[in-house]
Amino acid sequence: MTQLRHLLSVRDLDRETAVSILDLAEDMADVATRAVPKLPTLRGRTVANLFFEDSTRTRLSFEAAAKRLGADVITVSARGSSVSKGESLKDTTQTMAAMGVDAVVLRHSASGAARVLADSGWIDAAVINAGDGTHEHPTQGLLDAYTMRKARHGERARGASLEGLRVTIVGDILHSRVARSNVWLLQTLGATVHLVGPETLLPQGVEGWPVTSGTDLDAALDEKPDVVMMLRVQSERMLAAYFPNEREYARQWGLDEVRLARLAPDTMVMHPGPMNRGLEISSAAADSARSLVLDQVTNGVSIRMAVLYLVLSGSGSSATTGAGLGA
């Protein structure tokens, strides 16, 4: 079966590999429905969650995933550790290496940090990118694809791609690692992507990406996309003159109740969280039957179990394939 040395970027995944990860995540999701939702396949392995940037959601999701697979977990968070005192990536990871870890889950504010770590030789462990600056967030891209596939194909999801799915991603594309991972992975899986946001928040050179883009959300919704993914808008963007103020942003690019009402009943509404209710997404939209926001969170654990399993299986001594893992 598929093996991964690291997971740094979804661009390293071809369609076959991506589909096999999603399929494995289906198996992992089945584990969660057992009486004892654990699969001790990574017993004896150590996963280090190295979070140079705060992210409670992603950290908890990786922790839960590692623990369900029986791995030991070390978590180093920015706050209250040597990391917050300016210790370098090199020193921190060498310390981890000296303690003997098998995988590093890295969240870092600098784009490319996971790649630098994987190429550095400072540590021999598998590296999983849990978000690097404004570059990528591969497991988010995978969990989003998984969520879309599940919503579209239900019990027949295994083996399916996203061929023909039409996805509209709305908001701060420029600063979004989630958008980047979605763009590349959705393209690999056969979906088409349309990006919408203020011109200031669409990246320079986006015409070179495998997407269409525009600034008019209403026009984009007229096209009846299958998925509408709203991105979080950070308030500091206003200070850098990306848009005038929150009211104008919400009016032009927010998924408000009027826009929600125009969506087809089976349109998927997604958001990577945390949400700014009332800004990029209304409560009505976030809590509607179309919303898959909580499914995204649930599926995140399954995806991260699959990724941890793939980077750690075969690379060491104690990994064994558990029952139900037929992928």
Partner 1 sequence: MRAATLPDGSRTDLLIDAGIIAELGSGLSRAGATVIDADGLQALPGLVDLHTHLREPGFEQSETVLSGSRAAAAGGFTAVHAMANTSPVADTAGVVEQVASLGDQHGYVTVRPIGAVSMGLAGERLSEIGAMAQSRAAVRVFSDDGKCVSDALLMRRALEYVTTFGGVVAQHAQEPRLTEGAQLNEGTLSSELGLAGWPAVAEEAIIARDVLLAQHVGARLHVCHLSTAGSVEVVRWAKARGIQVTAEVTPHHLLLDEQLAVGYDARFKVNPPLRREEDVLALRAALAEGVIDIVATDHAPHPVEAKECAWQEAAFGMVGLESALSVVQAAVVDTGQLGWGDIARVLSSKPAEIGRLAGYDAPFTVGAPAHLTLIDPAARRSFGVEHLHGKSVNSPYLGRELPGRVVATVHRGVATVLDGELRPQEEVAAHVAN
Q: For 236, what's the count of Cα atoms within 13 Å in the CB-facing half-sphere?
A: 1
In the list 45, 59, 68, 180, the residue contacting partner 1 (rule: CB under 8 A) is 180
- What are the strands of the beta sheet with 72-77, ordered from one edge? 72-77, 46-51, 103-108, 126-132
C-beta of 180 vs 271, nearer to partner 1 = 180
Helices (H) and strands (E) in the chain, counts: 12, 9
C-beta of 27 vs 132, nearer to partner 1 = 132
C-beta of 135 vs 290, nearer to partner 1 = 135
Residues in contact with partner 1, shown as a per-residue x/- string from 43 to 62 under the rule CB under 8 A: --------------------
Task: Region of 53 please: left (phi>0), alpha (psi -120 to 50) or beta.
Answer: beta
- Helices assigned H by DSSP within 81-137: 89-99, 113-120
Minimum gap (Å) between residue 116 Cβ and partner 1: 5
In the list 82, 84, 120, 235, the residue contacting partner 1 (rule: CB under 8 A) is 120
Site for partner 1 contains 34 (CB under 8 A):
no
In the list 32, 78, 97, 174, the residue contacting partner 1 (rule: CB under 8 A) is 174
C-beta of 83 vs 306, nearer to partner 1 = 83
The footprint of partner 1 on residues 61-90 (CB under 8 A) is 88-90
Minimum gap (Å) between residue 124 Cβ and partner 1: 17
Tell me, rounded to whole angstroms, the distance of Cα 270 from its chain centroid.
12
In the list 31, 83, 113, 220, the residue contacting partner 1 (rule: CB under 8 A) is 113
CA distances to 9, 11, 153, 194, 281 from 183, in Å: 12, 10, 21, 9, 21
Site for partner 1 contains 130 (CB under 8 A):
no
The footprint of partner 1 on residues 209-268 (CB under 8 A) is 209
Minimum gap (Å) between residue 89 Cβ and partner 1: 6
In the list 136, 144, 226, 280, the residue contacting partner 1 (rule: CB under 8 A) is 136
* Other beta carbons within 10 Å of 90: 13
* Other beta carbons within 10 Å of 172: 24
C-beta of 92 vs 296, nearer to partner 1 = 92
The whole-angstrom separation of Cα 288 and Cα 268 is 10
Minimum gap (Å) between residue 181 Cβ and partner 1: 10
Tokens of 279: 């800004």
Amino acid at 116: V
Determine contact, residues 290/268, Cβ cutoff 8 Å: yes
The whole-angstrom separation of Cα 229 and Cα 297 is 14
Write out the residues near partner 1 by the rule CB under 8 A.
88-90, 108, 110-113, 115-116, 119-120, 132-136, 174, 177, 180, 203-209
